[in-house]
Structure 1
Amino acid sequence: MKNIDTHFLLRALKRGDINSLEKLYKLYYSKLYWFSKKFDSVTMESDDFVQQTFLKLWDNRNQLKDNVSLDQQIFVICKNLIINQLKREAKTSAHFKEADLSEEEEMQEVEIENCNLKELRDVIDNLPPKRKNIFLLHKIENLTYDEISKSLGISKKTIANHIYLAHNYIKEILCKP
């Protein structure tokens, strides 16, 4: 379609003309479909992104700009929907990984509890100072990785690594057959 036609459709859409939305849908469906196909969403298909794009276009038709090409505005809407969905999926994935880590920690704690507490204190005292501090903050003071990260200015992955290494060291020393 020509630029003039999309400009006409944009104005009609802003007036609430549902027929202009249908024409835009027919015009842009396959372009948006193949555009969204480039992204790997776990929970949404390309069709879903296209549908969401046109719903958002209709719901926010009064905010469309006359001085920006309709083509550009539609693709920005679609791209933002995809990016937001991928961010949600990443957060969910990270949450599940953290839950898995917590279960692993619980298993490690049960193993350590079977060891002698006096020996445990001695072994913890022999940890490198930074590892000992992180281990005690998490296990004794019950601080979360996030709280420790903010307090010490180090990443959560670094904290997880120190706790993992501390657990392995303690288990190696105390739980020898």
Structure 2
Amino acid sequence: MFQYNLKSTTDEQLIELIRDYDSREAFDELYNRHWKYLFTSSFNLLRDRDESMDICQVVFLWFWEHRKTINIKTNIRGYLYSSVKYKIANFIRSGKIRESFFDELKRVDIDTFQENEMEVKELQIMIFHLVNDLPKKCKEVFQLSRNENLTHKQIADKLGISEKTVDDHILRALKKLRTPLNRLASIFIML
């Protein structure tokens, strides 16, 4: 194998060493360069340190296991970031995450947002109205999930519907709520 000062190699050279020579040292260098960015990105979305670390580890493990066949068309950071976002989406879709923007809103300490108190109240009112405008069954499923913290299976059993139907109602509700709230969500993301 070629001798490299791994600290001075490019990401592309590291990927070549990993792919062509199974270089564990190159993989460790790539990991050390990018794990903090990926972890921070994941944590900003999940707000859960352990889950964020797990997702990063899964992404790097997958990268190592598929090192021979990986074909990266962008830069490695963008590739790994896309992988983290994909894993987070799967994590959320699978129902393993109970925390959400709406759950976080319940825990907001208004006193810490004195300058933004009016915006917070407006956001709460907007969410209330958006939830009330959902179709009856969709609203019921969403409120059981968010207000009573029932799992999708518990909701399905309680309402006598399939878990798939519960998933569909939750996704429909989140989609309807997400669009109007996107511009106001930045208030909470920055905090």
Give me the TM-score of the superposition, normalised by structure 2.
0.47
Cross-structure match for 2:13: 8
Map 1:62-73 onto structure 2 (within 5 A): 62-73=68-79
Query: In 2, distance between residues paired with 1:12 and 1:71?
Result: 17
- Tell me the CA shift for residue 93 of structure 1: 3.2
* SS at structure 1 position matched to 2:71: coil
| Matched residue, 2:100 | none
Whether 1:57 and 2:115 are equivalent positions in the alignment is no
**Which shifted more, 42-51 or 57-66?**
42-51
Is the contact between residue 18 and residue 24 of structure 2 (CA under 8 Å) also seen in structure 1? Answer: yes
Structure 1 gap ranges (5+): 103-143, 150-154, 158-177
Conserved 8 A contact 2:72-2:79: no
User: Deviation at 1:48?
Assistant: 0.6
Q: Taking structure 1 as reference, are residues 68 and 156 closer, same or farther at Cα in structure 2, changes over 3 Å only? A: closer
Give distance in 1, aligned partners of 2:14 and 2:162.
52
Identity level (%): 17
1:98 equivalent to 2:143? Answer no
Which deviations, in whole Å up to 9, do the C-alpha atoms of 1:111-144 show, x marking residues without a partner?
Answer: xxxxxxxxxxxxxxxxxxxxxxxxxxxxxxxxx6
Deviates most, 35-44 or 70-79: 35-44
Aligned residues of 2:43 and 2:49 also touching (Cα < 8 A): no
**Residue from 31, 45, 48 that aligns with 2:51:** 45
Provide, for residues 8-57 of structure 1, a one-character-per-residue CA deviation record: whole Å limited to 9, x for no partner: 01111112111111111111111011100122378961111111111011
User: Are the structure 2 counterparts of residues 145 and 64 from structure 1 closer, same or farther at C-alpha, using a change threshold of 3 Å?
Assistant: closer
1:145–1:14: structure 2 CA closer, same or farther, 3 Å change rule? closer
Distance 2:41 2:8 in 1: 20
Counterpart for residue 82 of structure 2: 76
Report matched runs for 1:128-143 at 5 Å.
none
Structure 2 CA distance for partners of 1:96 and 1:74, relative to 1, 3 Å: same
Please, what is the CA RMSD of the aligned residues? 3.5
Per the normalisation by structure 1, the TM-score is: 0.50
Higher radius of gyration, 1 or 2: 1
Alignment of 1:159-174 (within 5 A): none
Checking the alignment, whether the CA contact within 8 Å between 1:14 and 1:62 is kept in structure 2 is yes
Return 5+ residue gaps in structure 2 as ranges: 1-5, 98-149, 171-191
Q: Is the 8 A contact 2:59 2:83 kept in 1?
A: yes
Equivalent pair of 1:41/1:85 in contact (CA under 8 Å): no
Using the alignment, how far apart are the partners of 2:92 and 2:69 within structure 1?
25
Question: Aligned equivalents of 1:9 and 1:87: distance in 2?
Answer: 33
Contact 1:13 1:21 in 2 (8 A): yes
